[in-house]
Each structure stands twice: as structure tokens, then as C-alpha cells.
Amino acid sequence: MPSIFTKIIEGEIPGRFVWKDDRCVAFLSINPLRPGHTLVVPRDEVDHWLDLPEDLLSHLTRVAQSIGRAMDKAYSPVKVGLMLAGLEVPHVHFHVVPISGVNDLDFSNADPNPRQEDLEEAAASLRKALGDLGFREVIE
């Protein structure tokens, strides 16, 4: 059975995409830890990051770094956090989050009901920053 992320990638469930390429996508979390919280997800359904082929792991890391640079530009956080937990969905995904402290990566602080307008604004900010940085994988 396809994961929820595969359904988002295939357009069966809506997602706020900020990046698409032939190997992965990036879209906003529906339960953000902080504004701009983005998930980088491979198109291939792989449950555990330890099972990723090295070249795909490297690609996902490069994309996460690109998203992080856009977050740095859009939000000016203290740091951009990167986390791989993998417990909530059986499909590898990198959490990229603009943070001011380690507590910003605590999933118990996730927003269970973010305003749709806030998610749209965050997606627009990241798309603009990615475009300004010259990335052509940005989704308009």
C-alpha cells in the first residue's frame, strides 16, 4: 500500500510543494514545528534511511541543504535544523526546520492545526528564496 507521502507525490492528496526533481520532492509539513518546516522525501518508497542507496542519500542531503539555505534567507533563524526520525511515516523524510533552539525540534511542540494562510505564506517565502538562490527545481 502506498505511503501517505507517495499519495502526496502522486497528487492524490494535496501538498504545498517547494521543490520537485526526478529523485525527490520537498513540501511543507502539515504539522509544522516552526514556520517553513519542510519535508524532503524521495520519490522511491524506502522505509529506513539506512536502506537508501548512497547516491540517493547524498542527493536528499544536497536538496535538504538547498532548502536550508532558502530558510536561512527567508527566516534568518539562529540555525536550520535537520532531523531524520522516520517513526511517523514508513517513508524516509528529512525534516528541515528553521530553529532558534533545540526545543524547536521537539515534535510535541508541532502545530496540530496551522492556519492555511500561514502555510501558503511559508511556501511562497521558501519558493521565492529558492528562486533567488538560482534553483530551477522550485515549484511555482
Residues noted as catalytic = 93
The grid coordinates listed for 100 are 532558534
How many other β-carbons are positioned within 10 Å of the β-carbon of residue 112?
A: 7
Q: Helix (H, G, I), strand (E, B), or coil: what is residue 31? A: coil
Let me know: does 49 contact 84? Beta carbons within 8 Å.
yes
Residue 109, phi then psi, degrees to nearest 5:
-95, 5
